[in-house]
Every structure is written in structure tokens, then in C-alpha cells.
């Protein structure tokens, strides 16, 4: 039993070390921010997120008398992914259908002429990817042991990293193709410009020659 227990402890230690090594990547997929929202104003946060990624968020807005705060999450095409009127506290979740720029907007509405109201404090905690998954709930549903949960987390994290590298490679290929296409167009345009200049210079020589001959300045 002693060697078996030692192997278990060694595996757990390796998992914990691996998790610590990947912590900076995990933190990169979470956004926690607080800001003040003046009355009758609108503030938005934008973030680029990959395709088929789970996004979860939790928000809390300090309530002010006669003030109504609306929350809306949209993509670059204007499609509404989440909308909440008179949002004071709550959660949201959605899965991205394509790589896009997503916008989270808070808008404060306050009737004019009812006095001055302090700015509202908005707390937003937004997660996506591996960080957005609730592994405690997964462990309860699938009856996983702590080591199996850590392995599941690392497996999802590895898959996320592979997808990120694949996307970066695809973007690099697209940029390279764009650069090659641009260079080819510039080359053709340069050749065309040189031909035009040579043709214009030749025409000027013949034109001036005929002109000077007509004026009998040259033979």
C-alpha cells in the first residue's frame, strides 16, 4: 500500500504544480472590474472572444432613487445575447457562435428635474472558457474525485490553449496571404505607372519635336 499511496501523492503534486504553471493563462480569461456610472450616461466594455466559448458573468449595481439601469450584451452585428431592464444584481451566461467582438453596456436613465443623484457603482465579474466552467458542479454530477477534477480542468485548459494556437496560426496565414496579395498588387501598379510615365515621356518628346519643327527652330 505504501508505494501505491506514494504514487497517488506524487500524481496529485504534479497536478498541482501543473495547475500553478497554468494559472497566468487562467487569469487571462477572467475580467473583474468596478467603475462609476453617472446618471443618464452609457458605458460599454468590449472584448474579443473565440468561437464556441462559454461566457458567464455576475454584476451588481448600487441602487439610487428613481434611477433605472439597463444591461445589454451584443456582438458586432448588433445581435442581443443578453438584455435586462432595471438591472441591479444578477448573472448571465451565453455561448459564442463565432469569433467576434462582444460589447457589455450599462445605461443609466434618470428623469430630469428631480434633483442630483450620486453616480452608481457597477461591479462586473466576467469569465469565459475554462474559468467559466463550474467544476464543483461537474464533480457532483459525475461523482469525480479531486484528482479527476484537476485532470479534467487541465484537459480543458490544454484544449483551450491548442485552440488559441490554432487560431493564431490561422490568423498568421491570413495576414501572410493578405501581405502577398498586397505586394503583388503594388508590383503590378508600379509596372503600370512606369509604363504610363514612359509613354507620357515619349509623347512629350515627339510633341515638342513637331512643335519646334513647326516653329522652324530645328530642322
Domain regions of the chain by residue span: 32-132
pLDDT for residue 30: 67
pLDDT for residue 151: 85
Task: Spell out the CATH class of 32-132.
Answer: mainly beta
pLDDT for residue 24: 43
pLDDT tens, per residue, the chain with 219 residues: 444 343 444 444 444 444 444 444 444 466 788 999 998 899 999 988 888 888 999 999 998 888 889 999 999 888 999 999 988 899 999 988 888 899 999 999 887 755 677 889 999 998 888 777 877 888 888 888 888 888 888 888 888 788 888 888 988 998 999 999 999 999 999 999 999 999 999 999 998 888 888 877 766
Q: pTM for the full model?
A: 0.59
Closest to 125 measured CA to CA, from 37, 60, 44, 48: 60
Query: Beta partners for 128?
Result: 55
113: alpha, beta or left, given left = phi > 0 and alpha = psi -120 to 50? left
Closest to 53 measured CA to CA, from 22, 82, 29: 29
Q: How many CB atoms lie within 10 A of CB 187?
A: 10
Amino acid at each position: 500500500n505504501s508505494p501505491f499511496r506514494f504514487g497517488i501523492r506524487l500524481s496529485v503534486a504534479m497536478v498541482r504544480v501543473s495547475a500553478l504553471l497554468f494559472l497566468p493563462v487562467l487569469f487571462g480569461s477572467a475580467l473583474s472590474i468596478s467603475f462609476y456610472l453617472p446618471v443618464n450616461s452609457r458605458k460599454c466594455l468590449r472584448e474579443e472572444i473565440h468561437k464556441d466559448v462559454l461566457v458567464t458573468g455576475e454584476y451588481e449595481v448600487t441602487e439610487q432613487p428613481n434611477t433605472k439601469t439597463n444591461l445589454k450584451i451584443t456582438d458586432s452585428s448588433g445581435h442581443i445575447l443578453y438584455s435586462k431592464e432595471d438591472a441591479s444584481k444578477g448573472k448571465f451566461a451565453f455561448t459564442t457562435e463565432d469569433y467576434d467582438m462582444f460589447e457589455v453596456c450599462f445605461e443609466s436613465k434618470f428623469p430630469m428635474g428631480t434633483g442630483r443623484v450620486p453616480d452608481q457603482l457597477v461591479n462586473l465579474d466576467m469569465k469565459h472558457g475554462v474559468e467559466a466552467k463550474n467544476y464543483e458542479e461537474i464533480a457532483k454530477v459525475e461523482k469525480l474525485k479531486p484528482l479527476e477534477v484537476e485532470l479534467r480542468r487541465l484537459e480543458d485548459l490544454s484544449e483551450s490553449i491548442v485552440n488559441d494556437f490554432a487560431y493564431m496560426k490561422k490568423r498568421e496565414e491570413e495576414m501572410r496571404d493578405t501581405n502577398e496579395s498586397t505586394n503583388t498588387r503594388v508590383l503590378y501598379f508600379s509596372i503600370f505607372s512606369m509604363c504610363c510615365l514612359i509613354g507620357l515621356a515619349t509623347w512629350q518628346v515627339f510633341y515638342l519635336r513637331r512643335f519646334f519643327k513647326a516653329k522652324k527652330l530645328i530642322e
